[in-house]
Amino acid sequence: MPTEDVETLIVGGGLSGLACAAHLKRNGRTFRLVEQNDHLGGVIRTLSDSGYQIETGPNSLLARPEDPLLEYLSFANLAEKIQTAGRTGKKRFILKNGQPVALPMSLSEGIFTPVLSLSGKMRLLKEPFIPPATGTEGLSSEDETIADFVRRRLGEEFLESLIDPFVKGVYASDPHLLSMADTFPRLVAMEKTYGSLIKGGLALARQKKGAAPPFSREILSFSSGMGALPQYLAGLLGEDAGTNAEVIACSRSENGFRTALLFEEETYYIRSKHLVLALPAIQTAPLIAQLAPGAAPLLEKIPYAPIAVVYLGYPRERIAHPLDGFGLLVPSKERRKILGALFSSSLFPGRSPEGHVLLTVFAGGMVQPKLAQAFDEDLLPIVTGEVKSMLGATGAPSYVRIQRWGAAIPQSIPGHGARIRAIESSLPPGLHLAGAYMGGVSVSQTFSSGIRAADTILLTPPS
């Protein structure tokens, strides 16, 4: 049986694995990355189809000044491709009584917005006077759901009208299901430090005044689509990254790990001092079962939201709505069958043929998981019907494509942080985990998880 020795083996060529590999490479360390698919990037991939530019996963990314991704974005070959969404990216619509209403973008717009009633706005103004949680309410901050936290601080109407649709749009979830501390740790910290989100927000806004690093806090993509990011990273790795290689088992060996993989129907073995599993939790669990028996059942308990992504192209004149923004969020109280829609061709140029628009519509999620698995012939009329009623589309779309993800977005349910800490403490030395369940699902957070794994390896001497 062919056996190869490397210092570090990285399993998974999604963004977290690529980030880990790129960081090791930049620091002169040797590794091998293996990916089961025929392409690198995991869920991040851009396809060209009938003149449309389709994103199978994320449509855009947002990096904060402190995110390690920002440094990579500044590298010339990637920086020259960056497209920023500008003001369009900041304008979002929310469905209210069946109609899209623009969310306020300034304080004065906020005063007059119909998104909240007068009593909802008055409740919001009370927020600075509501004492922070003391922990004596019977819930530890790790157990508090987003819904509990928001209801407590900002009121029921704010929760239902704004936070619920945001959580559906970003996490394909429900604020009653997700942990506040693990999903929005900054807001929890803000409550602790300033006693209020409004006071904290104002204080931080004053501190942030001044120049932010280029590309930070901007919704952005690349002229050739989000796929440019993994492509760029793959270019840095060259032959150290291989595709069509599925890892089937991992075990201990004398000085580290022995990993079996299938490549062209042959089994190969790789011995490594470090092993990085940069995979979704569900796929990590069976591979880790022998190495960290305590961790496998904990990984299996992390739920994932399933999503169907429906891409619809229309001649521009057949959509009544101006589509002048990022997209449309849909509160659960509207009782609709989609999670939300992105106005993909408005956000960045070149996403649709001349005279046409591209909508990216999400269905399923934690609340309506069956819709994510519905047959195309059942799903399509539901989604086009919703688009017709919400955005004024007439006639059938001229372009349709459907992408499904059985396990799209990991869910930080209450206790997630404690579960991750328990998983990490049960890992043998040399075994590292990275991925969207390890510290945030966004592109920038997933990238950071890979960098963290690499940083831990860099603390050890090269072999």
Ligand X SMILES: Cc1cc2nc3c(=O)[nH]c(=O)nc-3n(C[C@H](O)[C@H](O)[C@H](O)COP(=O)(O)OP(=O)(O)OC[C@H]3O[C@@H](n4cnc5c(N)ncnc54)[C@H](O)[C@@H]3O)c2cc1C
Q: Say how far apart CA 449 and CA 20 lie, in whole Å.
A: 8
Minimum separation from the CB atom of position 358 to ligand X (A):
15
DSSP letters of 331-387?
Answer: -GGG--S-SEEE-HHHHSTTSS-TTEEEEEEEEETTTSHHHHHS-HHHHHHHHHHHH
> Residue from 116, 387, 408, 420 that binds ligand X (CB under 6 A)?
408
> Residue from 177, 278, 298, 390 that binds ligand X (CB under 6 A)?
278
Residue 24 contacts ligand X per CB under 6 A: no
The residues near 390 (Cβ < 8 Å, ≥ 6 apart) are 95, 98, 99, 100, 328, 330, 336, 341
Residue 358 contacts ligand X per CB under 6 A: no
Residue 37 contacts ligand X per CB under 6 A: yes
Residue 58 contacts ligand X per CB under 6 A: yes
> Residue from 21, 32, 36, 149 that binds ligand X (CB under 6 A)?
36
Residue 69 contacts ligand X per CB under 6 A: no
Backbone region of residue 51 per phi and psi (left: phi > 0; alpha: psi in -120 to 50; beta: other values)? left
Q: Which is nearer to ligand X, 159 or 279 (CB)?
A: 279
Tokens of 304: 């994932």
Amino acid at 452: R
Q: Which is nearest to 426 in space by CA: 309, 251, 292, 306?
A: 292
Contact indicator for 327, 85 with CB cutoff of 8 Å: no
SS (H, E, C) 38-63: CCCECCCCEEEECCEEEECCCCCEEE
Residue 169 contacts ligand X per CB under 6 A: no
Residue 259 contacts ligand X per CB under 6 A: no
Minimum separation from the CB atom of position 89 to ligand X (A):
11
Q: Say how far apart CA 61 and CA 84 lie, in whole Å.
A: 10
Minimum separation from the CB atom of position 287 to ligand X (A):
6
Residue 229 contacts ligand X per CB under 6 A: no
Q: Which stretch binds ligand X (CB under 6 A): 34-42, 101-109, 252-260, 296-304?
A: 34-42
Residue for token digits 């059938």? Answer: 396
Residue 35 contacts ligand X per CB under 6 A: yes
Residue 60 contacts ligand X per CB under 6 A: yes
Q: Which is nearer to ligand X, 456 or 463 (CB)?
A: 456
Does an H or E element contain 102, and which?
strand 99-102
Q: Which is nearer to ligand X, 384 or 446 (CB)?
A: 446
> Residue from 33, 43, 133, 453 that binds ligand X (CB under 6 A)?
43
> Residue from 21, 167, 270, 436 that binds ligand X (CB under 6 A)?
436
Residues numbered 371 to 400 that lie near ligand X (CB under 6 A) are none
Q: Which stretch binds ligand X (CB under 6 A): 41-49, 152-160, 198-206, 210-218?
A: 41-49
Alpha-carbon distances of 335 from 160, 245, 338, 371, rounded to whole Å: 12, 44, 9, 14
**Backbone phi, psi, residue 97, to 5°:** 50, 40
# of chain residues touching ligand X (CB under 6 A)? 36
> Residue from 85, 229, 247, 420 that binds ligand X (CB under 6 A)?
247
Residue for token digits 């704010």? Answer: 158
Residue 156 contacts ligand X per CB under 6 A: no
Residues numbered 302 to 331 that lie near ligand X (CB under 6 A) are 307, 309
Minimum separation from the CB atom of position 78 to ligand X (A):
16
Minimum separation from the CB atom of position 226 to ligand X (A):
8
**Backbone phi, psi, residue 316, to 5°:** -50, -40
Residue 219 contacts ligand X per CB under 6 A: no
Residue 405 contacts ligand X per CB under 6 A: yes
- Tell me, what DSSP letter sits at residue 4? E
Q: Which stretch binds ligand X (CB under 6 A): 131-139, 252-260, 316-324, 405-413?
A: 405-413
SS (H, E, C) 374-429: CCHHHHHHHHHHHHHHHHCECCCCCEEEEEEEEEEEECCCCCHHHHHHHHHHCCCC
Residue 451 contacts ligand X per CB under 6 A: no
Residue 100 contacts ligand X per CB under 6 A: no
> Residue from 8, 46, 53, 59 that binds ligand X (CB under 6 A)?
59
Q: Which is nearer to ligand X, 37 or 88 (CB)?
A: 37
- Tell me, what DSSP letter sits at residue 68? T
Kindly list the residues in this chain that would bind ligand X in the complex (CB under 6 A): 11-17, 34-37, 42-44, 57-61, 246-247, 278-280, 283, 307, 309, 405, 408-409, 435-436, 441-443, 446
